[in-house]
Structure 1
Amino acid sequence: MNAPLPTPDKDAIALLPPFERLDLDRITWVCTGEQARRAQAQLMQAPAWGFDTESKPTFKVGEQSDGPHVLQLSTPERAWVFQLHDLDCRAVAAALLAHPGIVKAGFGLGDDRKRIIHKLGIEPQGILELNTVFHERGYRKDMGVKGAVAVLFNQRFIKSKKAATSNWANARLSEAQLIYAANDAYAAVRVWQALALA
């Protein structure tokens, strides 16, 4: 049996040059049905999307999240960050996730899937857990977006802890939240693309 392939540790990743992220000019904030339908028309032209969700963090024991509050989908060119407050916007987001013909690639999607079923009432189709792909290729531990970007691109993916634990249920997202959410999905589609070409 082959030895598992090594994954870089935090110290090794810290020395790598930064992964080029999407800036606001390539991120679309989507919060109405009309905006969602425009996003849908563009997204449907891609064979795969990077995919992730964000939910307002819970801090009390036993407190249940009513997330996801945000859904992010990305192509290798741009990302769309859907806020799920508006019912029309939520309906389009649900239709996108239920569409079977497009790969939705991401990391650690088990919890996202459960929350989507509960909140949107649909079973997402075409979900690809990228950690599973790395396991199949000989990596033993869960890769996560940081490890995957380091292995495939020899670059460091920067995640803001402050944005990660911010209030995703806010009526209006901050620029930092938009950049954080969009780039999680963007990195995932770039990883999918690199794995598909490997």
Structure 2
Amino acid sequence: MPQLKAPSKEESALLPPFAELAEQAIHLPQTEAQFHAAHEALKRAEFLGFDTESKPLFNAGQHDSGPHLVQLATPQQAWLLQLHHPLALEITRDILGSPHILKLGFGLDNDRHSLPRRLQTELRNVEDLDRHFKRLGYGSSVGVRAAVALVLGQSFRKSKRTTTSNWAASQLTAAQRRYAANDAHAPAVIQAAWMSWERKRATGSTHTGRKPESH
């Protein structure tokens, strides 16, 4: 069976922009009350988009103390948990260790390795959406940009400058907050739309995704 090709970066860029979260839907808890509210909201979720950020390492031999930020999101809102804060660490440990809440993201191999050590707990009910696409006949690493194009028909863009910014900083910039929140929000929206997309795909009514070109 020939491998399906996901939309290229250039093709994705022609689509309408991804519907990013509004600033008021992005939560960065700092007080005990805010952490409590975040924990209660996250525990009620059936599934959550999931991603992490770490301070980049530019020199060989540097100690990797990350991840420094864990992002969890529903299709409506996102929570950014800075792991230098004990309450953030406690909430992250509880949610990622819960077998009752599905956590979904892209390219999670490194997180599966580093987070159990960081959190001192096993990750449970965590799924890599790249593997879902692979089962459908796409490549092994579709990634969030192509997945948003395929499932949502939207263009998901990332700032390289923000990608390599200091995620261990005690205060995150507005650009960092938006970037981090939407990296977790996108998998949550994809999961919410997945069944409908698969039905359309089965009937041939989707217009994204390409079969390999024949020569």
Structure 2 length-normalised TM: 0.87
* Corresponding residue SS for 1:128: strand
Higher Cα Rg: structure 1 or 2?
Answer: 2
State the partner residue of 2:26: 27
Instruction: Give 1:20 deviation, angstroms.
Output: 0.9
State the partner residue of 2:13: 14
Structure-1 separation of matches of 2:100 and 2:111: 19
Instruction: Give 1:37 deviation, angstroms.
Output: 2.2
Instruction: Give 1:93 deviation, angstroms.
Output: 1.4
State the partner residue of 2:87: 88
Percentage identity across paired residues of the two chains = 41
Instruction: Give 1:33 deviation, angstroms.
Output: 4.5
Map of 1:1-198 to 2, 5 A cutoff? 2-197=1-196, 198=198
Structure-2 change in CA distance of 1:100 and 1:117 (3 Å) = same
| Partner AA of 2:16 in structure 1 | P
Structure 1, residues 30-86: CA drift from partner, whole Å, max 9, x if none? 234442221111112221000001010000012231011100000011000011111
Structure-1 separation of matches of 2:88 and 2:33: 8
| Partner AA of 1:46 in structure 2 | A
Contact 2:47 2:104 in 1 (8 A): yes
| Partner AA of 1:103 in structure 2 | L
Structure-2 separation of matches of 1:140 and 1:84: 33
Structure-1 separation of matches of 2:13 and 2:149: 10
| Partner AA of 2:95 in structure 1 | L
Q: Which runs of 5+ in 1 are unaligned?
A: none
Q: Which runs of 5+ in 2 are unaligned?
A: 199-215
